Amino acid sequence: MSKISTGSFSIEELENVQITIGSIVGAIEKKVEDEGEMGPTPKPGISGLRDWDYKLLNRYEPVYTPMCDQCCYCTFGTCDLTGNKEGACGIDMKTHQAREFLLRVITGAAAHAGHGRHLLHHLIETHGADHPIDVGPTNIKAPVTQTVTGIKPETIGDLESVLDYVEEQLTQLLATIHVGQEGAAIDFESKALHGGMLDHVGMEVSDIVQISCLGMPKSDPNAPLAEIGMGTIDSKKPVLLCIGHNVAAVTYIMDYMDEHNLTDKIELAGLCCTAIDMTRYNMDKGGTPTAKIVGSLAKELKYIRSGIPDIIVVDEQCVRCDVLREAQKLSMPVICTNEKIMYGLPNRSNDNVDDIIEDMVSGKEPGALLLDFEKIGELAPRLVMEVAPIRKAKGITALPTDEEFKELTNRCVHCLVCEMACPMNLPISDAMTAAADGDLTPFEILHDKCIACGRCEQECPKDIDILNVIEKASQKVIREEKGLMRAGRGQVSDPEIREEGVNLVLGTTPGIIAMVGCSNYSDGTKDLYDIAKEMLKRSYIVVVSGCTAMDLGMYKNEEGKTLYEEFSGSFLKGNLLNVGSCVSNSHITATTIKVAAIFAQRNVTGNFEEIADYVTNRVGAVGIAWGAYSQKASSIGTGCTRLGVPVILGPHGSKYRRALIGKPYDSDKWSVYDARNGEKIAIPPAPDYLVTTVDNAEEIMPMLAKSCIRPTDNNMGRMIKLTHYIELSKKYLGIMPDDWHTFVRTETDLPLAKREELLKILETEHGWEIDWKKKKILSGPTMKFDVSAQPTNLKRLCKEA
Amino acid sequence: MVDTTKNIKVYTTYGTKSAKPVQPKISAKLISKAKRPLLVVSSAVLDEEILKRAVSIAKKTGMQVAATSTSIKGFLNEDVKAKYINIHALATYLGDVDWTGLDGEGHYDLIIVLAHKKYYINQVLSGLKNFTDLTTLSIDRHYLQNASMSFGNLKPEAHLEALDELIENL
């Protein structure tokens, strides 16, 4: 077997016979093993990293906040588990909540892995399995994949076995949801962490295959800027709206438009991550994206109701279930391009394009399921060119006329039922009163805060289409919604890590703030801008993706510049990087792995635990999923936490049912080993959570600074981080944080400008002994500073072990 | 007198156990009888009218205020025992019998919540309901199903009136 390799072979004695060996099971892994690089846990099973999980879960305990007191999983039930009671199968509330959380995580992971598998099948078919992976200047092409599976993929065909592993593990995890399986909450937690880790592998496969095959930017800090906002769409042109996350079908539409000189004639707009990837398509050689981004999921119903789109093309994930119903009311044909969303439409994949177009233009069919990408490419542009003139002539929209608007606002009886039904209890009633008096401002404010779920309309006893009223009132601000987003750049390159790694590990770059996730914000989109700007000004590296990357581009400074224009896009302090769409989140965890590999020369191959240990102790990174709503967001976040990157969620994140929070007052939990000799050393209680939530954008600011503190910070690094923590706490909460002293090891950790003042506080309020002549701390700190210490949670990495 | 027990329609149900609707006067009695009550407020307390009443409750009872989110800003110049804490951390510590409280003097026996995002505090209360023996009382303007006792859904002006009545009876 060792002599067999992949490739094509001729057999001398047999003319015209050639044997092609596509892949050999285990060949890549064997090659790595032969090179002596394989770590201890390639392709870990469910229990493979359980010890590591237990270490994390010992310090950061699961905190459950159930969304429902009952369990209705099986016919034993419904069981009332209130008060941590046991149900008929023996499961208690705590364990059931852990199971519920696991289910969310693997649902999210399956969505990404399914997306990746679909893309991989398609791109192997179009580009061949031997198509090389090309993600930019790097020796570690797939850092998460390599760390988890031990596989170092070179071609897109190599990614098949990676997804085989992910899919097999996800099936095993899903099996544990069944009644009568796991009975310990902590082991459901470990499984959830496993699912989160798998998610990052699935995402990485998805993104590197599309970067490699679809001409997307390859670690490009200067990826082009794309237009974003409802106000950027030229509604006079035929408008083709694409919604979802999987850009495969849309690339055929873009190619057809290009080949038939339709690019200038059709307005190609997108919602959600498909939109982001439309702006990345074929941008690796430069240029300006022709596709425009409408925005995130929160804009979906708003934009459909505006009547501006002439046809809608959907693929998968985060597409509203009522798209067809809403579109049908407005004579907008809907094309489903992916088996995950078919809306009960007839499968027209084998039909003639002319016939399908005719059926939709005539209104005979409200849409079609079309799984043939070539046909989609031709049909969508042709259909929109035919439908648009008809729709525009009729002026079709769901929004009320001025007169209807007046009648609707006067019809409101101010019963407040809409506000109770609103997930955010938005003040709709007062806005109705103001609008009836001619003041549209309250509705304009609601337009940004409203996530367009439509729950208010379901409850209104007066049948007022409240969302339409909000949108009608906000036409002026909608027209001004024009911003820019830097197209997703993909991975962080090796040269960038080489330049910045040392600053991160020593703390002189105060940290990485990764802002990811969806648009279920608690108070509108502006918070994202405010958070990013504050941290960028303080030289943090801000990395963004997905909906956050979009909404961030909607605001401008006094000079009319968006953050993407104001700050550069390299992996350097004070830079703003958009890695790309939802699946590009894997590049964020990959970056921390690369720091371990490149800066610290750690072997990453099949070596997850050691790398996670490194990241936990040394890489000051924190994730924010400010508007997280989806199962995918839970799996993304959970993948970060297994690697040791803490995650803060907005207040809606409490509905994920569980957080991981430490107790700073329990000193036993805050120590690690020194790898030089195996001795225990105290570490600062930061981050004091792995997953938590905050109430608003102001509260998050000091928490971000604290979350980047790590045991390996040198004095300069700790001083910088403490300075930001104290300043941000004073600025946004009006107080000196009460735990700042717990991060002080020596006087040189103290912010220079306030050193004397802080020494005084340490002496008077905390009883520390100070040598005032030398301005030195003599006693008090619970931690020592030792520049050579090698903090680790893993006894096996200690020299004495 | 405001009837704070009328409208207890639940818009997003959690299941079988719902907070007992409570009148302001009874709420005042509960608070007065508690040995270690804790008033947990959030950013909505920065509304002038609500803040005035939160400060009155804290002053009249001398109870500790857990100032979550950015609410601490409202108490900086007030003579009340207020301390910032993140609410998810607070929910965690409240579930730990070994926690010695915000002032180091021991655990609490009654948790009173005011001025929160409804969906957020309801999650916190869900955790406390299911995994602790704490009694929780909501004097917020929305009915909070997961508290032990709660005001019903109230219009803003009725809510202020109810708080005044509660303060009067402390």
Separation between Cα atoms, residue A714 and residue A506, nearest integer Å: 5
Separation between Cα atoms, residue A261 and residue A279, nearest integer Å: 18
**Closest to A272 (Cα-Cα) out of A313, A243, A311:** A243
pLDDT tens digits, A675-690: 999 999 999 998 999 9
Q: What pLDDT is recorded for position A24?
A: 63
Write the Ramachandran bin of A432: left for phi over 0, alpha for psi from -120 to 50, otherwise beta: alpha
| Helix, strand, coil fractions of chain B, as percent rounded to 5 | 40, 15, 45
CA dist A200 → A184, A203, A206, A574, A582 (Å): 25, 5, 10, 26, 11
Closest-CA residue of chain A to B130: A83
pLDDT tens digits, A319-338: 999 999 999 999 999 999 99
Under the banding of pLDDT at 50, 70 and 90, the label for residue A11 is low
Nearest CB to B14; choose among A68, A84, A416: A68
* Closest CA–CA distance from residue B150 to any residue of chain A (Å): 16
Closest-CA residue of chain B to A657: B123
Q: What pLDDT is recorded for position B10?
A: 80
Q: What pLDDT is recorded for position B1?
A: 86
pLDDT tens digits, B23-61: 999 999 999 999 999 999 999 999 999 999 999 999 999
- Contact across the interface for A738 and B83, Cβ inside 8 Å: yes
Supply the DSSP string of A354-396, one letter for each residue. Answer: HHHHHHHHTTS-SEEE---HHHHHHHHHHHHHHHHHHHHHHT-
Q: What pLDDT is recorded for position A546?
A: 96
Quick count: other Cβ atoms within 10 Å of Cβ A764?
Answer: 10
**Closest to A729 (Cα-Cα) out of A700, A763, A758:** A700
Separation between Cα atoms, residue A52 and residue A642, nearest integer Å: 8
Residue A648, pLDDT > 50, answer: yes
pLDDT > 90: what percent of chain A?
A: 92
| A175-195: average pLDDT | 98
Closest-CA residue of chain A to B124: A65
CA dist A603 → A71, A150, A592, A595 (Å): 44, 10, 13, 11
Nearest CB to B117; choose among A421, A651, A688: A651
* Of A21-35, A358-372, B80-94, B118-132, the least confident: A21-35
- Contact across the interface for B14 and A69, Cβ inside 8 Å: yes
Tokens of A291: 């596709």
pLDDT tens digits, B156-165: 999 999 999 9
Quick check: B95 contacting A, CB < 8 Å? Answer: yes
CA dist A311 → A336, A399, A579, B131 (Å): 11, 18, 29, 51
Quick check: A692 contacting B, CB < 8 Å? Answer: yes
* Domains of chain A, earliest start first: 1-36 (no CATH), 42-210 (1.10.8.190), 224-484 (3.40.50.2030), 485-779 (3.40.50.2030)
- Contact across the interface for B87 and A69, Cβ inside 8 Å: no
- Contact across the interface for B70 and A732, Cβ inside 8 Å: yes
Separation between Cα atoms, residue B146 and residue A766, nearest integer Å: 39
Q: What is the CA radius of gyration of chain A?
A: 27
Q: What is the largest CA-CA distance in chain A?
A: 93
* Domains of chain B, earliest start first: 20-168 (3.40.50.1220)
Quick check: B127 contacting A, CB < 8 Å? Answer: yes
**E strands present in A550-709:** 576-580, 621-627, 647-649, 658-661, 671-674, 680-682, 689-693
Separation between Cα atoms, residue A249 and residue A271, nearest integer Å: 15
Quick check: A413 contacting B, CB < 8 Å? Answer: no
| A68-72: average pLDDT | 95
Q: What pLDDT is recorded for position A16?
A: 67
Residue A605, pLDDT > 90, answer: yes
User: Interior CA angle at A307 toward A305 and A311, to 5°?
Assistant: 110
Contacts of A81 in chain B (CB under 8 A): 130
**Closest to A583 (Cα-Cα) out of A247, A254, A269:** A247
Q: What pLDDT is recorded for position A13?
A: 67
Supply the DSSP string of A106-173, one letter for each residue. Answer: HHHHHHHHHHHHHHHHHHHHHH-TTPBP--SS-S-SSHHHHHHH-----BGGGHHHHHHHHHHHHHHH
Write the Ramachandran bin of A331: left for phi over 0, alpha for psi from -120 to 50, otherwise beta: left
Locate tokens 């004097």: which residue?
B139
* Closest CA–CA distance from residue B105 to any residue of chain A (Å): 14
The answer to whether the beta carbons of residues A170 and A110 sit under 8 Å apart is yes
- Contact across the interface for B142 and A420, Cβ inside 8 Å: yes
Ramachandran angles phi, psi of A496, nearest 5°: -65, -40
Point out which residues pair with A8 in neighbouring strands.
A20
Supply the DSSP string of A514-567, one letter for each residue. Answer: EEEEEE--SS-SHHHHHHHHHHHHTT-EEEEEHHHHHHHTT---TTS--HHHHS
What does the mean pLDDT of chain A come to? 95
The answer to whether the beta carbons of residues A97 and A87 sit under 8 Å apart is no
Separation between Cα atoms, residue A538 and residue A724, nearest integer Å: 8
**Closest to A234 (Cα-Cα) out of A267, A268, A278:** A267
Tokens of A22: 């596509």
Q: What pLDDT is recorded for position A46?
A: 98
pLDDT > 70: what percent of chain A?
A: 95
**Closest to A595 (Cα-Cα) out of A504, A715, A714, A690:** A504
- Contact across the interface for A652 and B119, Cβ inside 8 Å: yes
Across B44-61, b (16+ Cβ under 10 Å) vs e yields bbbeeebbebbbbbbeeb
Residues 6+ apart with CB under 8 A from A745: A715, A718, A781, A783, A784, A785
Cis upstream peptide for A217 (omega within 30°): no
* Closest CA–CA distance from residue B169 to any residue of chain A (Å): 29
pLDDT tens digits, A338-377: 999 999 999 999 999 999 999 999 999 999 999 999 999 9
* Closest CA–CA distance from residue B82 to any residue of chain A (Å): 12
Q: What pLDDT is recorded for position A1?
A: 41
Across B67-95, b (16+ Cβ under 10 Å) vs e yields bbbbbbbbbeeeebbbbbbbbbbbbbbbb
Q: At what angle are helices A185-213 and A93-127 packed, to 10 degrees?
A: 20
Separation between Cα atoms, residue A145 and residue A197, nearest integer Å: 10
Under the banding of pLDDT at 50, 70 and 90, the label for residue A30 is low
Under the banding of pLDDT at 50, 70 and 90, the label for residue A21 is low
User: Interior CA angle at A179 toward A174 and A180, to 5°?
Assistant: 110
pLDDT tens digits, A82-120: 999 999 999 999 999 999 999 999 999 999 999 999 999
- Contact across the interface for B73 and A734, Cβ inside 8 Å: yes
Contacts of B76 in chain A (CB under 8 A): 734-735
SS (H, E, C) B33-79: HCCCEEEEECHHHHCHHHHHHHHHHHHHHCCEEEECCCHHHHHCCCC
Under the banding of pLDDT at 50, 70 and 90, the label for residue A2 is very low
Residues 6+ apart with CB under 8 A from B108: B36, B37, B38, B64, B94, B101, B134
Closest-CA residue of chain B to A420: B11
